[in-house]
Structures are given as structure tokens and as C-alpha cells.
């Protein structure tokens, strides 16, 4: 009879126990309590029926969730990959876009519209592409793009494409076709998937928050060509969209007017800078954006005297080359933003510098090692070199954390994830049963495990930026590698005293027993807002 052996095994190996409270517990990888009448009902069933009842445990996965686990993550938490003692940090450095300045999706739409216009008017792409409006929920940061095949996809930490997340234009590519396109595997070799800065010869990883509209335009143009049966070279399209996107950013730099429609949380940026300076910290800014653009935004957020907060201001720095190429000297800009020709022998407060390089910066300031903490949103351009080559402490701004935390706090997510883990535990225990009936059931479980994913709770096309079905994403692995700390926005700093030490949670390695239960509160309750900052929120 189907699944007899599995049922027998559940009863004999999973320690069905009667408790004095009148409940029965199956001790597998999880604990399930059933009432006495449920237990009687199960024992009265034939094994197959009992098994199906047990198999249907997903309906009761809410019973597996400890009380109070939903809605406990605080979206303003700072998370630690590495221990950081703020007391030892004397100097705070910042990127500008998506670090000091956070933007709304209205800015993404503006960049998309301008880039689409450039693609059609300058490169003479078909007018039909103009009919594709911006889709704010389509793309997600950290995705890879296969330049020659014209495919957008999510790749995990082990370089495997997550099936179900491959898009040609705006349409998903069937799993069988993906396997066929990649030679019978969905693994992409390191040399193809990524160079040091995420630009492999075959794939590009989009790590910039600004690149969401670029990915969306690529998808729209690919979709237009594919839907209309027009032959084209995806390599040319990739280059042309890339240039159109850069042109769109140039337009943004010259015409952008900072308003509440585009810039969010400006008050909190002011509060962070004011608090750091008032506690004796030194601040500096290194951005790739031009001075006029930064000046307008900072005046809007912080006020006319924003430069008083900073000891050094560097614009158009050309990161990541700023961090690893010592060829470019600093140049000074005058009050009108015009380039000066004098030799730079010191980096002075109140001055604006352009270009330069980190080696001169370190020589002129002496700001070395772990007394410097640098904040940026781009894992490659802002943080990778600093972490791997120069020994500054790094903090990643990940605005997506806010939305993802909201999802993780829902009961639906908790139930889906708990059931996924329970199912995985059952599969691990029961996989040795090789009789035909058991194998059929195991196949059903495997199928359900693939379907019982939480992907749709996040971005409906690509899921969470941090996880594929069962693994961390490529983005996640890089985030852990290149950042000591990560947080949704700079304003999270307002929740912590400046002598606070961030401790990473000690999660057990695969070969270690989960013997400790410390730090359960990380992200949950240990970050009461400082009273003096309460008015900001
Ligand atoms: Mg940035």
C-alpha cells in the first residue's frame, strides 16, 4: 500500500509520544501538536489516509510557528556581517546618490523616460518602443543580464540561475529552454558571470539602484523586437541602452530640481550629519556625481551651509577607479564650479575637489584603517576595494530592506517558510525509502518544496534580492563579503548611540550543532529610538 513504509517510519522514528496534557508530538525537525481527537482520528485511518492527512500538514503550518514571531523585525535596524565598534570610528565617509540622498521611484521613471527617448530619437530605434511605459515593479537590483542572449535573470551564490526567474523581454523563459540555452545546465561559470566589478564578458550584474530603469528599458526593447518578430543583435541593444541610460543621467544632472517628489528622508540626512559633527566626528563625501547636482540636493536636504558639515568634499571621483588607480590627481573647483589649475598639497575644509585618487587622499588626510567607516549603496564601486584592499570599515545602504522586512514580518511569509523547512526536514528523514509508493510520495514532496516558495511575496518576477528558493543570491554573497554593516537607509544610525558595538549573529556553520540561543533579539527589540531624535520620525 502506498507510503506504508513512510508512515511506519514516521511512527517508529519520529517518536510519537503521548503527553500528560493530552497532546501528541511528532519530533521530526519540528514539533507538531495534534489534539487527542485528531490523534484518534489519525490512528483510525488506514496508513495511506493517515499519510495524506500528515502530508497535508501544510494546512496546519501555522501551528508550527512559535507565538510572536511575526512582525518583530524593525526595519530601522542596522545589521552586522562583522563586528564594528562605533566608539573606535572617528571619521565617517559617504557616497551621495542613494546614500545621503534617497530617491523615490518617480526619479526612476524620469530616468527611464529620458533614456527611452534617447534610444528612439538618437539611435533611431523603432517608435513602438516609446509605447512601453515604465514598470516600477518589474526589475530588481542584483540581477544578471546575458548580453548576447538578451536574458535577465537571478543567479545564486553558487552561480546557478534560479529557474523561473529568467526573462526574455517581459516574458518568462520556460525552464527547459533555459537548460537548453546553457548547454544542459543552469550553472554559469565564474569567468562568464562576473569580473571583479560584476562585468563579465558574457554577463553584467546590475548593482546600481539607478540601474532599475536601465534593466526595465532593456526588457521593454527586447520585448518589442521579440513580440514583433524583428531580428536584432542583443549586443548592440545592450550598448545602446547603456549609453542612453548614461545620457539620461547627464540630463538629470543638469535639469534636476530637488523636491519632495524625488528626494525622500532629507530631514533624516540632516539629523545624521548634525549628530555626527556635534559629537566630534570628521565627515567627508566622495561621489561620482557633479558638484552642481550634489549642491542642489544637499541645499534642499541639509540647508545652504551644508558644506560646513564636511571636512573634505570630492565630486566626479570616478569610483571604483578612484580607489585603485593612483594616476589621477585632485583638482580644485572654485565657487562657480570651474576647474582650477593649482597643485593640490592639502585637502581643505570648505573647498570642493574633483577626481583624485584614494592613495593621495590617504597621504593628505592620514585617515587610514578601521577608524574610517564609509557608507555607500554600490557594493562594487563604493565598498569592494575599501574592504578588500584598504581596510576601511564599510556600511552598505540597501533601500530594498525596508520592503523586504515588511514581507518577512507577515504571517503569510512565516507560514510559507516554516512549511518549507518542515517539508525539507521530512524529505531529509524519509529519502531512504525506495519502494514505489514511497518514491511517489517523495516526488510529490519534492515538487511541493519547489512550489512552496516565498518568491511571489516579494518581487513577483524575481523574488527577494537576498535569496533564491533555497540559497543566498549572488547579491547576498557580495553584500556579506564587502560590507561590515548594512541597513535600509542612513537614518538607521539615529537609532544607535555612537559608542554602540554591532555584533554579527553567530549562526551555526553546517557542521556545527545549534547549541546557542543568544542574540535572538537582533533586529527585533534592542534598538529603542533615541529620544532626542524622536521628532524626526
Ligand atoms: Mg550611490
Give Cα 327 distance to the centre of its chain.
Answer: 33
State residue 124's pLDDT score: 96
Question: Ligand 1 centroid vs 200 CA: distance in angstroms?
Answer: 21
Question: Ligand 1 centroid vs 108 CA: distance in angstroms?
Answer: 14
How long is the chain?
537
| Active-site option among 90, 97, 318, 497 | 97
Residue 395 vs residues 80, 86, 303: alpha-carbon distances, Å: 9, 12, 25
Q: Which residues contact 254 (CB under 8 A, 6 or more apart)?
A: 292, 293
Cβ atoms within 10 A of the Cβ of 50, count? 18
- Whole-number mean pLDDT of the chain? 85
Q: What does the CA dihedral 141, 147, 150, 155 come to, rounded to 10 degrees?
A: -40
Residue 246 is placed in which grid cell?
548614461
Beta-strand relationship, 31-34 and 24-27: antiparallel
Nearest to residue 369, comparing CAs of 344, 387, 395, 351?
Answer: 387
| Active-site option among 95, 146, 223, 240 | 95
State residue 66's pLDDT score: 58
**Ordered strands of the 24-27 beta sheet:** 17-18, 24-27, 31-34
To the query of whether residue 95 is one of the catalytic residues in this protein, the response is yes
* Segment among 165-179, 256-270, 515-529 with least mean pLDDT: 515-529
Nearest to residue 99, comparing CAs of 298, 249, 361?
Answer: 298
Question: Ligand 1 centroid vs 396 CA: distance in angstroms?
Answer: 10
pLDDT higher than threshold 70 for residue 25: no
97 labeled part of a ligand binding site: yes
Percent of the chain clearing pLDDT 90 (strictly above): 60
Question: Ligand 1 centroid vs 95 CA: distance in angstroms?
Answer: 6
Question: Ligand 1 centroid vs 212 CA: distance in angstroms?
Answer: 13
Nearest to residue 445, comparing CAs of 129, 155, 30, 57?
Answer: 57
* Segment among 46-60, 175-189, 322-336 with least mean pLDDT: 46-60
Question: Ligand 1 centroid vs 319 CA: distance in angstroms?
Answer: 10
Where residue 33 falls among pLDDT bands split at 50, 70, 90?
A: very low
- Residue range 521-532: mean pLDDT, rounded: 50
Q: Which residue has the cell 518583530?
A: 72
* Segment among 102-106, 244-248, 365-369, 506-510 with least mean pLDDT: 506-510
Question: Ligand 1 centroid vs 246 CA: distance in angstroms?
Answer: 14
Quick check: 155 and 193 in contact, CB under 8 A?
A: yes
Cα-flanking dihedrals φ and ψ of residue 334, to 5°? -85, -175
Cα-flanking dihedrals φ and ψ of residue 424, to 5°? -60, -40
Helix (H, G, I), strand (E, B) or coil at 100: coil
pLDDT higher than threshold 50 for residue 3: no
- Residue range 369-386: mean pLDDT, rounded: 94
- Residue range 376-400: mean pLDDT, rounded: 94
What is the tens place of the pLDDT at every residue in 443-485? 888 888 887 667 778 998 999 999 998 899 999 999 999 999 9
Q: What is the Cα–Cα distance from 384 to 100, expressed in whole angstroms? A: 19
State residue 514's pLDDT score: 79
The structure's pTM equals 0.86
What is the tens place of the pLDDT at every residue in 231-270? 999 999 999 999 999 999 999 888 888 888 899 988 999 9
What is the tens place of the pLDDT at every residue in 86-144? 999 999 999 999 999 999 999 999 999 999 999 999 999 999 999 999 999 999 999 99
pLDDT higher than threshold 90 for residue 405: yes
Q: Where are the alpha helices (DSSP H) in 170-314?
A: 175-181, 190-193, 211-227, 234-255, 266-278, 291-301
pLDDT higher than threshold 60 for residue 1: no
| Residues near ion ligand 1 (Cβ under 5 Å) | 95, 97-98, 377
Cβ atoms within 10 A of the Cβ of 426, count? 23
Helices 211-227 & 105-121 angle (0-180, nearest 10): 50
Q: What does the CA dihedral 379, 381, 384, 390 come to, rounded to 10 degrees?
A: -140
To the query of whether residue 38 is one of the catalytic residues in this protein, the response is no
Burial 12-44 (b: 16+ CB within 10 A, else e): eebebeeeeeeebbbebebebbbeeeebeebee
Q: H/E element holding 155?
A: strand 151-155
Domains by residue range for the chain, with CATH: 4-64+403-457 (no CATH), 79-103+263-399 (3.40.50.1000), 105-255 (no CATH)
Amino acid at each position: 500500500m502506498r507510503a506504508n513504509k513512510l508512515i511506519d517510519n514516521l511512527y517508529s522514528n519520529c517518536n510519537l509520544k503521548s503527553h500528560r496534557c493530552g497532546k501528541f508530538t511528532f519530533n521530526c525537525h519540528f514539533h507538531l501538536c495534534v489534539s487527542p481527537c485528531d490523534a484518534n482520528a489519525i490512528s483510525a485511518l488506514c496508513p495511506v489516509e493517515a499519510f495524506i492527512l500528515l502530508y497535508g500538514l501544510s494546512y496546519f503550518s501555522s501551528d508550527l510557528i512559535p507565538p510572536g514571531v511575526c512582525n518583530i523585525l524593525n526595519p530601522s535596524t542596522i545589521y552586522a556581517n562583522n563586528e564594528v565598534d562605533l566608539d573606535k570610528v572617528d571619521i565617517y565617509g559617504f557616497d551621495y546618490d542613494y546614500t545621503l540622498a534617497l530617491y523615490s521611484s518617480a526619479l526612476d521613471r524620469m530616468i527611464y523616460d529620458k533614456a527611452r527617448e534617447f534610444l528612439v530619437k538618437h539611435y533611431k530605434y523603432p517608435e513602438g518602443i516609446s509605447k512601453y511605459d515604465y514598470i516600477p515593479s518589474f526589475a530588481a537590483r542584483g540581477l544578471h543580464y546575458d548580453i548576447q542572449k538578451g536574458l535577465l535573470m537571478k543567479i545564486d551564490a553558487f552561480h546557478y540561475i534560479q529557474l523561473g526567474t529568467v526573462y526574455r523581454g517581459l516574458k518568462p523563459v520556460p525552464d527547459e529552454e533555459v537548460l537548453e540555452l546553457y548547454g544542459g545546465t543552469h550553472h554559469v561559470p565564474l569567468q562568464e558571470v562576473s569580473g571583479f566589478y560584476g562585468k563579465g564578458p558574457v554577463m553584467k550584474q546590475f548593482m546600481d539602484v539607478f540601474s532599475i530603469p536601465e534593466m526595465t528599458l532593456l526588457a521593454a526593447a527586447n520585448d518589442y523586437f521579440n513580440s514583433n518578430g524583428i531580428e536584432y543583435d542583443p549586443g548592440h541593444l545592450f550598448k545602446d541602452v547603456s549609453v542612453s541610460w548614461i545620457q539620461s543621467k547627464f540630463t538629470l544632472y543638469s535639469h534636476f530640481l530637488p523636491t519632495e517628489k524625488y528626494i525622500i528622508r532629507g530631514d533624516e540626512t540632516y539629523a545624521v550629519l548634525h549628530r555626527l559633527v556635534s559629537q566630534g566626528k570628521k565627515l567627508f563625501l566622495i561621489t561620482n556625481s557633479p558638484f552642481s547636482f550634489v549642491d542642489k540636493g544637499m541645499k534642499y536636504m541639509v540647508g545652504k551651509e551644508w558644506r560646513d558639515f564636511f571636512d573634505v568634499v570630492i565630486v566626479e571621483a570616478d569610483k571604483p577607479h578612484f580607489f585603485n588607480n593612483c594616476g589621477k590627481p585632485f583638482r580644485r573647483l572654485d565657487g562657480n564650479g570651474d576647474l582650477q589649475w593649482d597643485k593640490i598639497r592639502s585637502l581643505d575644509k570648505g573647498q570642493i575637489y574633483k577626481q583624485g585618487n584614494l592613495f593621495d587622499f590617504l597621504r593628505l588626510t592620514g585617515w587610514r584603517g578601521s577608524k574610517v567607516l564609509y557608507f555607500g549603496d554600490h557594493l562594487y564601486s563604493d565598498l569592494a576595494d575599501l574592504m578588500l584592499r584598504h581596510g576601511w570599515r564599510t556600511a552598505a545602504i540597501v533601500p530594498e530592506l525596508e520592503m523586504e522586512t515588511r514581507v518577512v514580518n507577515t504571517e503569510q511569509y512565516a507560514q510559507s517558510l516554516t512549511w518549507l523547512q518542515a517539508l525539507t526536514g521530512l524529505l531529509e528523514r524519509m529519502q531512504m525509502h525506495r519502494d514505489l509508493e514511497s518514491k511517489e510520495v517523495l516526488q510529490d514532496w519534492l515538487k511541493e518544496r519547489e512550489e512552496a516558495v516565498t518568491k511571489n511575496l516579494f518581487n513577483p518576477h524575481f523574488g527577494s534580492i537576498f535569496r533564491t528558493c533555497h540559497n543566498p543570491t549572488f547579491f547576498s554573497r557580495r553584500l556579506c563579503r564587502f560590507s561590515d554593516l548594512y541597513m535600509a537607509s542612513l537614518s538607521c544610525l539615529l537609532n544607535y548611540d555612537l559608542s554602540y558595538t554591532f555584533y554579527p549573529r553567530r549562526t551555526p556553520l553546517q557542521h556545527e550543532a545549534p547549541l546557542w540561543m543568544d542574540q535572538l533579539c537582533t533586529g527585533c527589540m534592542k534598538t529603542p529610538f533615541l529620544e532626542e531624535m524622536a521628532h524626526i520620525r
